[in-house]
Amino acid sequence: MLSRVADSCFWIARYVERAETNARLLVVNHQLLLDFQDQEPDVERKHWEPILGTLEAQEIFYRFYQRANSDTVQEFVTFEKENPNSILSCLAAARENARTIREQITSEMWEQLNKLYLYLKSPQGRQDFINSPYNFYYSIIEGVHMFHGITDATMSHDEGWLFLQTGKFLERADSTSRVLDIKYHIILPSGEPVGGNIDLTQWRAVLRSCSALEPYLKIYSGQVKSWHVAEFLILNRLFPRSIRFCVDSLDHHLHKISGSEERTFVNEAERLSGKLRSELDYETINSIFQFGLHQFLDKIQRELIEISDSLVATYCSWLPAAEFLTIS
């Protein structure tokens, strides 16, 4: 398949997944705020800044907005065109990529992506956002789920599909690491004990951000504890948004592209993803907490970036045509 097309497939999936992550972060944070009104004078800022922290977007945010509060952060993360990672920017980029490879994806996929993008830009979308952010963000999450479902059900599971899967799982691993990391950025109100009510509510929100509350409760019989939440979201083998599950799937699809066997490698991307995969296989939550949760997540994020870069270098980048001529 054309390198350019592979690149677009990979990025469509990443952008779409990123849009979903943003919607999840916002809807949960919004819900959480309703539980903690009037705690402290500066509570709104403290409540919304962590979102910017976990998205690594503080700098660009303060270039355009003066204060972080519910309105500005939601606007920035949802609609802001100047924010390259806002939901709108992500969907616009995914759609633009899809437009250039329309003949490679199915009409149903294109129509779904187009519909989602047009909804976000429509007066109706804006009105839904004002009336009920909860419903609004869930329509976006649902729209993304629909896109994945349509992709699986209508597109041949060929090379393009593999690049879409690779992008999806890579971004999703990154997304879960960021949602989990938000706890690092949220500072407990003064006097609140670790493991106290507020702390636990925050952990519960983290689970909800990943649609993980119910699956979690099934396994840990109803008790929300910080290290259990982290264990579940990082190391659970079967939960489809856990980092381990996502890295397993990433590694699996990546190997399918080249046809090489898992646990071997024929390029740098496979080597790095295989390495990350086996690291997670032998990790325990105790060792992660000893290393430092934030540091660990940070490391995962950096390794995912390296995998992404190597994948693009292996399959998607070519020297400009002019250089070929001078070489030959």
Q: Which long-range contacts (CB under 8 A, 24 or more apart) does 232-239 make?
A: 232/207, 233/176, 233/179, 233/180, 233/206, 233/207, 234/176, 234/180, 234/280, 234/283, 234/285, 234/288, 234/296, 235/280, 235/283, 235/284, 235/285, 239/212, 239/215
Minimum CB separation of residue 115 from other proteins in Å reads 7
Residues 59-98 touching other proteins, rule: CB under 8 A, are 96
Residues 268-327 touching other proteins, rule: CB under 8 A, are 315-316, 318, 320-322, 324-325
Angle at 204 between CA 71 and CA 18, to 5 degrees: 55
Q: Which of 38, 42, 59, 103 binds other proteins (CB under 8 A)?
A: 103
Which residue, among 75, 66, 60, 65, has the nearest Cα to 30 in the 3D structure?
75
Does 154 sit near other proteins (CB under 8 A)? no
Choice between 222 and 320, CB closer to other proteins: 320
Does 132 sit near other proteins (CB under 8 A)? no
Minimum CB separation of residue 317 from other proteins in Å reads 9
Q: Which of 47, 102, 130, 141 binds other proteins (CB under 8 A)?
A: 102
Does 122 sit near other proteins (CB under 8 A)? no
Choice between 91 and 212, CB closer to other proteins: 91
Minimum CB separation of residue 165 from other proteins in Å reads 15
Minimum CB separation of residue 6 from other proteins in Å reads 5
How far, in Å, are 1, 3, 7, 13 from residue 161 at the CA level?
11, 14, 12, 10
Does 15 sit near other proteins (CB under 8 A)? no
How far, in Å, are 46, 184, 191, 193, 223 from residue 188 at the CA level?
10, 10, 8, 8, 20
List of residues contacting other proteins (CB under 8 A): 1-4, 6, 96, 99-100, 102-103, 107, 110-111, 114-115, 159, 257, 315-316, 318, 320-322, 324-325, 328
